[in-house]
Amino acid sequence: MLGFIVESRSPRVSYGVSTVPLPLGEYVSASYTVDDRVRGVTIQRRVLAVVSNAGFVHAIPQSVIKYLNPNQAGQASAPKLSPMTLYVIAEIVEGTRVEPPRYPIPPDTVIDSASGNLLSLVYSAPGGVRLGMLSPSSLGVEIKINPDKLVKHLLIAGATGSGKSNTVAVIADRISAIGAPVVVFDVHGEYDIIPEDGDSSRVVKVQAKINPMRMPPRILALIIIPEPQARRQRRILYKAIKDVKEEVDREAQSKGIKLEQAIESIAEKRGVKIDELEERSLSYDEALAEKYKALLIRKLEGISDAKDKTRVETIIDKVEEFFEITPITMLEDPPLNYLELGKILVVDASTLTDDQRRWMLKIIVDELLLKLKSKSIKPVVLVVEEAPLFLSIELNHPVKQSLQRFAREGRKFGGCLIVVSQRPRSLDVNVVSQLQNFIFLRMVQEEDIRAVMNIADNLDENLARIIPSLPDGRGLVMGEIIGRFPALVDIDLHKGKKAGAAPKLTETWSEYKSKKMPVFDIE
């Protein structure tokens, strides 16, 4: 016996007391019978609840004891009590039926610990992918997530070091192991994952760059001119991109040469030259990009239609700007070419600026949605780390709309979005309200907790109170991926994800000092 119920103001929330405080997030249960006057029956009920708040007080304040009994002041030890709040998760009716709570727990009901059987009944997961163990793991209840429900997307929120990236690694690895193609947009270049099955060919890491020749002209035009109202400009650009592409393709085919050679050959024919001095400072790939850009601009300049002449200058500016701010390659395949069933594609965007990252992600998101809609790829899972970079309230960038559209429309075509954030308060609620599955790891800032309550409308304030005291790797999991009831889960620690953990400073320093090694490696 752990204590008693004192008061229940609703079926969801009860207040109880114990002689010693119970840890926050502990599962407890209580059993009672109710007279159902409406149906004229007596029903046996057992509830499953979590301790969501606890205090510790003297049952009678010391000052009151002193007042009542001045002679014994200071000697009497008054009994102590721990008042606690219980958040009721589910009700088990007649021993088997699991339902949301409908009755307030009667006062004086005994609070028990929750048995493994009871927890298995509430959290029974027939199939799916293992996430970890219900907390505490000593209860022996395995928790799985249902990958089919990822079409309702997933938000993983937690403070730094609370275990977000580990959770991503666990999910990405295990759903790809059953065949899912997973794309991780890796902002920090931290996803050096070795899959749990040891098959490192299941992780493909590519640098994020755009290849204008391999990108569908319509998408490239949309990336360069994203403004919805600039439809005419975009159409002109699209046509120019298409013409250049077709010309290069024709050249390559007729001469039996590679695309890059075809670009050079046409540039030569057209007399398009880049400054020799400049060319020497460029890599072969960069020089090719310059030539391609020059060909595209030449094509735009050649537009004779008087109506469009004025527009062309603006378009050229946008093309110039695009080539300046975006990492371009003419030789490498676009990242999504490496997308494969059963593999994790890590798109390393760590070398890009924040703005380039936004463009790059936008391209990937748009292309994924397009391909999903045209059924040219199978359902896919996209993981976006550092969400505030792409989804913050203040941000005015097309990537935000792209992610929103992916979340809204993707669900019908099998596009699953996993958004990871350590600052949920800065996320645009309009966009993240599309996410309907949640893993909340430890967060201490009041604003962040309020924000996630805003995003997850069925996250009760009483349940949210346990979030600040969650240890590393323990998450409050909610949404259809887990079933009908929120669960506290000790998420498995992924053995094959190394980077991302804090560097071991003292170890490194003392090692270098003892070996008298230089601080800076000149190499």
Nearer to ligand ATP by Cβ, of 312 and 439: the residue is 439
Helix 231-255 vs helix 259-270: crossing angle, to nearest 10: 110
Residue 421 binding Mg ion, by CB under 5 A: no
**Going residue by residue from 430 to 469, which x/- string records binding to ligand ATP, judged by CB under 6 A?**
----------------------------------------
Give whichever of 165 and 326 is closer to ligand ATP, judged by the CB atom: 165
When asked if residue 165 is in the footprint of Mg ion (CB under 5 A), the reply is: yes
Strand-pairing partners, residue 32, are 45
Do residues 413 and 373 make contact, with C-beta atoms less than 8 angstroms apart?
yes
Nearer to ligand ATP, 166 or 434 (CB): 166
Q: How far is CA 411 from the centre of its chain?
A: 16
| C-alpha–C-alpha distance, residues 315 and 235, integer Å | 10
* Residue 76 one-letter amino acid: A
Closer Cβ to ligand ATP, 216 or 496, answer by number: 496
Nearest to 32 by CA among 50, 17, 49: 49
Both tokens assigned to 305: 């239609």
Q: Tell me whether residue 161 or residue 468 sits nearer to ligand ATP (CB atom).
A: 161
Question: Residue written as tokens 């102590």?
Answer: 80
Answer yes or no whether residue 163 interacts with ligand ATP by CB under 6 A: yes
Minimal distance in Å, beta carbon 480 to Mg ion?
Answer: 25
Task: Between 414 and 496, name the residue whose CB sits nearer to Mg ion.
Answer: 496
Nearest residue to the partner ligand ATP, using Cβ: 473
Interface with ligand ATP (CB under 6 A), residue from 77, 160, 374, 376: 160
Residue 513's SS3 state is helix
**Minimum CB distance to Mg ion smaller for 385 or for 490:** 385
| Structure letter (DSSP) for residue 40 | T
51 φ, ψ (degrees, to nearest 5): -75, 115
Among 3, 104, 147, 158, binds ligand ATP (CB under 6 A): 158
Is there binding between residue 166 and Mg ion (CB under 5 A)?
no
| Distances, alpha carbon 177 to alpha carbons 52, 153, 203, 327, in Å | 36, 19, 11, 32
Q: Which of ligand ATP, Mg ion, none sits in contact with 211, Cβ below 5 to 8 A by type?
A: none
State the minimum distance, in angstroms, from the CB of residue 502 to ligand ATP.
Answer: 7
Number of residues that bind ligand ATP (CB under 6 A): 15
The answer to the question of residue 147 lying near ligand ATP (CB under 6 A) is: no
- Minimum Å gap between C-beta 434 and ligand ATP is 22
Smallest gap from Cβ 415 to Mg ion, in A, equals 23
Instruction: By CB under 5 A, tell whether 404 contacts Mg ion.
Output: no
Residue with tokens 């959290």, as numbered in its chain: 123
Binding ligand ATP by CB under 6 A: which of 501, 504, 508, 513? 501
Residue 104 interacting with ligand ATP (CB under 6 A): no
Q: Does 85 bind ligand ATP (CB under 6 A)?
A: no
Using the contact rule CB under 5 A, the part of the chain among 46-54, 140-148, 156-164, 300-308 near Mg ion is 156-164
When asked if residue 162 is in the footprint of ligand ATP (CB under 6 A), the reply is yes
Spatial CA neighbour of 315 closest among 301, 331, 333: 301
Q: What are the tokens at 471?
A: 């240890």
Judged by CB under 5 A, which stretch of 82-90, 161-169, 277-285, 376-384 contacts Mg ion? 161-169
Q: Which helix (H) or strand (E) holds 335?
A: none
Task: Report the amino acid identity of residue 47.
Answer: V
**216 preceded by a cis bond (ω within 30 of 0):** no
Neighbours of 388 (CB within 10 A): 17
Strands 129-134 and 487-491: antiparallel
Q: By C-beta, is 68 or 493 nearer to ligand ATP?
A: 493
Give the closest residue to 26 by CA, choosing from 46, 6, 54.
54
Whole-angstrom distance, CA of residue 99 vs CA of residue 122: 9
Could you tell me the smallest distance in angstroms from the CB atom of residue 153 to ligand ATP?
Answer: 19
472 sits near ligand ATP (criterion: CB under 6 A): yes
Give the nearer residue to Mg ion in terms of CB position, either 81 or 344. Answer: 344
Instruction: Say whether residue 422 binds ligand ATP (CB under 6 A).
Output: yes
Can you tell me whether residue 191 is helix, strand or coil?
Answer: coil
What's the token pair of residue 64? 């009151």
Interaction of residue 172 with ligand ATP, rule CB under 6 A: no
398 near ligand ATP, rule: CB under 6 A = no
Give the separation between CA 87 and CA 10, rounded to whole angstroms.
Answer: 10
Cα end-to-end distance, the chain, whole Å = 66
Summarize as ranges the residues that interact with ligand ATP (CB under 6 A).
158, 160-166, 422, 472-473, 491, 493, 500-501
